[in-house]
């Protein structure tokens, strides 16, 4: 029986973010379209040749994208929203980037398409928009072009396309059900697949991650129809699922007339037995055995043990669980991670090397790769026992956590009274979410300090001046609760990760977040401890500048967890609790230093929700418990705030309420306070700060519009439970925008107070 190896997609950004820089230079008018295309072509060529040299049997093409693969699919289908003025034919690069980013030229200013998170990853895609009477046409031949381009470079590839059912599932219809367009969409897919078959492609990888979601009848019917139609196009389809278990969708999956099926055996290992009995013997089975979502090295010898018996029975393809888009490119570029930790890691390049070793071991025998297998085993062993990872004190502390530790001393009404007696805040107290503009001056000072051009004393002095000036300004304009501005923080997660034990940081571990935007997630590899206080000095300095309360400002455990690469040798819930205990210590230290209000941001709590509804509650339970454990070490009269972005809370309100934050600021400006309806009907008991203006846009809001929003809010909630604040932190804005906006916001609050008095 044969064993072959496949890759499902390689990071597009390039080993040193070449694509990012080429894009930004093109957008900035500093380089031509031809130069951008040249950079892209050479990155693709390098990537193909690299995979060929590694002996990958199925090398992907069309995994490349200038911005996003969902947008590429939308463009392929010609489903270009009217505002971009598409007139038929092929979509050009200018239109493509207008869809991705909007345009701001004087004569022609259009908004970008909406962007949201791709399944439960931190990658963002452009949401397809469909309207009544939507037209479709083949408006991009990129899949074919790139297949031919690879062929010309001497590399036979397996083109990747996003499948029609997933694309329709991600689409938003305006007064129309996207699935009404299934036939139109299938007609274009048929054209694309037929053209690939004609060009000589034997296989096409058709990605349908929707298979790991809860499917409705419409989606199921669409899967049946789609693959009946597409299986007749002359190519063999590798129907590719990932990001989780197929679970109850397995009968549907295995009934489809496709030549191959790929499943994610990292997250979907529970499907394994069912797969073996249900996948027809003549269907090629592709097993995602290397983790495409995380950066840990595999235990190859153990994998061989596991795969060997199966490989004797049927033909197998081995692959990463999903596209490698979600991991950094190459571990070799890392200079500062400790060697002991480095040996536990594998980035995209290393993951493909692991596949090559697996193939050799299974086809030619383990002896052929004895050295590689031994190194892998040694690393796995080391990781199981390393004192860097396993800290007995942490285990003991975790075991000693009692339910009471996750409960405030008194219920909210008692706390609220004690806090008000101490804080004496007016109605509609005004505050901000934490950060103030990260100007180029601030970023430059940080960069200089990092490069050693500005010594620590000089840098601290600079930050103190920024902070003090920001506090002074907040006092001047009459904000009630101040923040220090977060100038000392590079990133709200990294800043804490760097001060906690159990985290490692890369120097080049970039992963695409959206478009040209990349992030470098911290690596949570071991038991978490807090060697010393992390924010108390900055908070104390700030509070010394003012009589008004300055909020202590922390990132919560769930958010730190969700924005990091997390160890896979224990449940995420356990890592989260370790983080909770560490941040709890910080909360207690801030209180001891005199902080009357402490904000614990949980920006990413909602986005951590599992893909399957049935798994939501378990996640929410431990996530909320971790937040409460973090927040509950303080006295009644210490006020705990939390902040969350992406506030689609309607379906998780009981959990939001269970967090029991004294005050919660949320994003509501863009939805016209719509969300508050749900808070009102749920009778959310604590204080809320509904964002009164959108910080994602440079627009300066008027007093009037904020008063109107607050009046709406007042309809739903009593005045003494409302705060006045922007939607989110101000770090991405400029002072020229922040100053007039906050001045107007304070004026709006005053107007509301006057109105309340007059009642
Ligand atoms: N305190 C953070 C800030 O203001 C919160 C950011 C966020 O919610 N993403 O920047
Ligand atoms: Zn936010």
Residues 503 and 522: beta-carbon distance below 8 Å: yes
Torsion of CA 497, 498, 499, 504, to 10 degrees: 80
pLDDT for residue 594 is more than 90: yes
Sequence spans of domains, the chain: 3-385, 426-438+464-495+535-558+571-758
pLDDT one-digit tens code per residue, 215-225:
999 999 999 99
pLDDT one-digit tens code per residue, 134-159:
999 999 999 999 999 999 999 999 99
Would you state the pLDDT for residue 502? 98
Give the separation between CA 649 and CA 664, rounded to whole angstroms.
12
Provide the 8-state DSSP code for 292. Answer: S
Give the separation between CA 188 and CA 147, rounded to whole angstroms.
18
Would you state the pLDDT for residue 536? 98
Phi, then psi, of 703 in degrees rounded to 5: -55, -45
**Length in residues, the chain:** 759
Provide the 8-state DSSP code for 699. Answer: P
Which ligand approaches the C-alpha of residue 732 most closely? 1
pLDDT for residue 697 is more than 70: yes
At 520, list the tokens.
């470098």
pLDDT one-digit tens code per residue, 154-212:
999 999 999 999 999 999 999 999 999 999 999 999 999 999 999 999 999 999 999 99
CA of 175 to the centre of ligand 2 (A): 30
286 is in an annotated binding site: no
At 314, list the tokens.
């049927």
Would you state the pLDDT for residue 416? 98
Residue 111's pLDDT band (cuts 50, 70, 90): confident
CA of 665 to the centre of ligand 2 (A): 8
Q: Pick the residue whose CA is nearest to atom 6 on ligand 1.
A: 729
pLDDT one-digit tens code per residue, 20-29:
999 999 999 9
- 753-759 mean pLDDT: 94
pLDDT for residue 106 is more than 70: no
Residue 556's pLDDT band (cuts 50, 70, 90): very high
Provide residues with CB under 6 Å of ligand 1: 433-435, 486, 492, 553, 601, 603, 643, 645, 728-729, 731
Residue 644 CA: nearest ligand 1 atom is 8
pLDDT for residue 103 is more than 90: no
Mean pLDDT value across the chain: 96
Would you state the pLDDT for residue 212? 98
Residue 433 CA: nearest ligand 1 atom is 4
52 is in an annotated binding site: no
Which ligand approaches the C-alpha of residue 435 most closely? 1
pLDDT for residue 424 is more than 90: yes
Q: Pick the residue whose CA is nearest to atom 3 on ligand 1.
A: 729
Provide the 8-state DSSP code for 99. Answer: H
Would you state the pLDDT for residue 251? 97
pLDDT one-digit tens code per residue, 715-737:
999 999 999 999 999 999 999 99
Give the separation between CA 743 and CA 740, rounded to whole angstroms.
5
**CATH assignment of 3-385, among 3.30.565.10, 3.20.20.210, 3.60.21.10, 1.20.1250.20:** 3.20.20.210
Q: For 305-337, b where at least 16 C-beta lie within 10 A, e where not — what string?
A: eebeebbeeeebbbbbbbbbbbbbbbbebbeeb
**CATH assignment of 426-438+464-495+535-558+571-758, among 3.20.20.210, 3.40.50.720, 3.30.750.24, 3.40.30.10:** 3.20.20.210
Would you state the pLDDT for residue 600? 98
Check if 3-385 and 426-438+464-495+535-558+571-758 are the same fold. yes
Residue 731 CA: nearest ligand 1 atom is 10
- Predicted structure pTM score: 0.96
Give the separation between CA 376 and CA 186, rounded to whole angstroms.
45
Residues 575 and 566: beta-carbon distance below 8 Å: yes
pLDDT one-digit tens code per residue, 673-691:
888 899 999 999 999 999 9
Could you identify the residue written with the tokens 């789609």?
226
- 645-656 mean pLDDT: 87
576 is in an annotated binding site: no
CA of 492 to the centre of ligand 1 (A): 7
pLDDT one-digit tens code per residue, 58-102:
999 999 999 999 999 999 999 999 999 999 999 999 999 999 999
- 473-478 mean pLDDT: 98
Give the separation between CA 449 and CA 455, rounded to whole angstroms.
6
Q: Pick the residue whose CA is nearest to atom 8 on ligand 1.
A: 603
The DSSP bridge partners found for residue 566 are: 524
20 is in an annotated binding site: yes
Name the burial class of residue 470, with classes exposed (0-12), middle (13-18) and buried (19+) by CB atoms within 10 angstroms of its CB.
Answer: buried
Would you give the distance in Å from CA 547 to the centre of its chain? Answer: 39
Between the alpha carbon of residue 126 and those of residues 68, 96, 415, the distances in Å are 7, 11, 44
Q: Which residues are catalytic?
A: 696
- Comparing CA positions, the residue from 635, 631, 639, 692 lying closest to residue 424 is 639
Residue 121 has a CB neighbour count (10 Å cut-off) of 19
pLDDT for residue 299 is more than 80: yes
- 479-507 mean pLDDT: 97
CA of 733 to the centre of ligand 1 (A): 12
Would you state the pLDDT for residue 104? 76
């Amino acid at each position: 029986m044969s064993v072959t190896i496949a890759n499902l997609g390689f990071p597009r950004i390039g080993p040193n973010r070449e694509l990012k820089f080429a894009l930004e230079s093109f957008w900035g008018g500093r380089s031509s379209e031809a130069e951008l295309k040249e950079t892209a072509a050479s990155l693709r060529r390098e990537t193909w040749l690299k995979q060929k040299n590694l002996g990958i049997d199925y090398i992907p093409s069309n995994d490349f994208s200038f911005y996003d693969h969902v947008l590429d699919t939308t463009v392929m289908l010609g489903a270009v929203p009217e505002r971009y003025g598409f007139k038929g034919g092929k979509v050009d690069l200018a239109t493509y980037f207008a869809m991705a980013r909007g345009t701001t030229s004087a004569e022609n200013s259009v908004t970008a398409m909406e962007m949201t998170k791709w399944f439960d990853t931190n990658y963002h895609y452009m949401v397809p928009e469909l309207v009544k009477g939507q037209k479709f046409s083949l408006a991009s031949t990129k899949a074919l072009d790139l297949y031919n381009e690879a062929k010309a470079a001497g590399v036979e590839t397996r083109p990747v396309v996003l499948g029609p059912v997933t694309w329709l599932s991600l689409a938003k219809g305006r007064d129309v059900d996207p699935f009404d367009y299934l036939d139109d969409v299938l007609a274009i897919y048929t054209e694309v697949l037929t053209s690939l078959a004609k060009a000589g492609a034997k296989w096409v990888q058709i990605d349908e991650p929707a298979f790991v979601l809860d499917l409705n009848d419409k989606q199921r019917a669409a899967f049946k129809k789609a693959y009946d139609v597409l299986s007749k196009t002359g190519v063999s389809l590798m129907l590719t699922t990932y990001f989780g278990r197929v679970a109850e969708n397995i009968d549907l999956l295995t009934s489809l007339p496709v030549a191959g099926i790929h499943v994610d055996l990292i997250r979907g290992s529970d499907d394994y037995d069912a797969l073996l009995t249900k996948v027809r013997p003549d269907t090629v089975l592709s097993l995602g055995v290397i983790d495409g979502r995380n950066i840990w090295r595999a235990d190859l010898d153990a994998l061989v043990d596991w795969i060997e018996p199966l490989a004797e029975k049927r033909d197998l393809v081995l692959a990463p669980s999903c596209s490698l888009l979600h991991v950094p490119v190459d571990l070799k570029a890392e200079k500062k991670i400790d060697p002991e930790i480095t040996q536990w890691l594998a980035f995209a390049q290393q993951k493909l090397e692991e596949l090559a070793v697996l193939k050799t071991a299974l086809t030619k025998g383990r002896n052929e790769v004895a050295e590689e297998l031994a190194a892998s085993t040694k690393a796995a062993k080391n990781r199981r026992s390393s004192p860097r990872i396993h800290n007995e004190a942490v285990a003991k502390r975790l075991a000693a956590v009692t339910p009471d530790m996750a409960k405030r001393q008194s219920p909210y009404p008692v706390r609220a009274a004690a806090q008000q007696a101490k804080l004496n805040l007016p109605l509609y107290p005004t505050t901000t979410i934490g950060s103030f503009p990260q100007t180029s001056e601030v970023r430059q000072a940080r960069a200089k300090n990092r490069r050693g051009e500005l010594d620590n004393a000089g840098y601290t002095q600079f930050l103190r001046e920024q902070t003090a000036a920001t506090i002074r300004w907040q006092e001047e304009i009459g904000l009630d609760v101040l923040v220090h501005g977060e100038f000392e923080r590079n990133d709200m997660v990294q800043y804490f990760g760097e001060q906690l034990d159990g985290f490692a940081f890369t120097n080049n571990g970039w992963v695409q977040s959206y478009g040209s935007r990349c992030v470098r997630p911290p690596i949570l590899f071991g038991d978490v401890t807090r060697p010393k206080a992390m924010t108390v000095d900055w908070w104390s300095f700030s509070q010394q500048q003012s009589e008004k309360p300055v909020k202590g400002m922390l990132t919560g455990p769930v958010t730190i967890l969700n924005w990091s690469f997390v160890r896979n040798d224990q449940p995420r819930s356990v890592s989260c609790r370790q983080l909770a205990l560490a941040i709890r210590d910080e909360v207690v230290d801030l209180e001891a230093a005199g902080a009357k209000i402490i904000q614990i941001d949980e920006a990413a709590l909602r986005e951590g929700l599992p893909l399957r509804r049935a798994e939501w509650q378990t996640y929410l339970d431990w996530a909320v418990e971790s937040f409460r454990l973090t927040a509950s070490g303080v006295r009644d009269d210490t006020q705990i705030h939390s902040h969350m972005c992406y506030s689609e809370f309607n379906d998780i309100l009981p959990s939001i309420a269970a967090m029991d934050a004294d005050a919660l600021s949320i994003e509501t400006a863009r939805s016209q306070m719509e969300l508050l309806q749900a808070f009102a009907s749920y009778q959310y008991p604590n204080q809320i700060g509904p964002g009164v203006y959108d910080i994602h846009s440079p627009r300066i809001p008027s007093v009037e519009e904020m008063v109107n929003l607050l009046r709406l809010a007042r309809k739903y909630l009593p005045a003494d439970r409302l705060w006045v604040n922007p939607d989110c932190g101000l770090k991405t804005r400029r002072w020229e925008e922040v100053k007039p906006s906050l001045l107007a916001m304070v004026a709006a609050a005053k107007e509301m107070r006057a109105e309340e008095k007059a009642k």
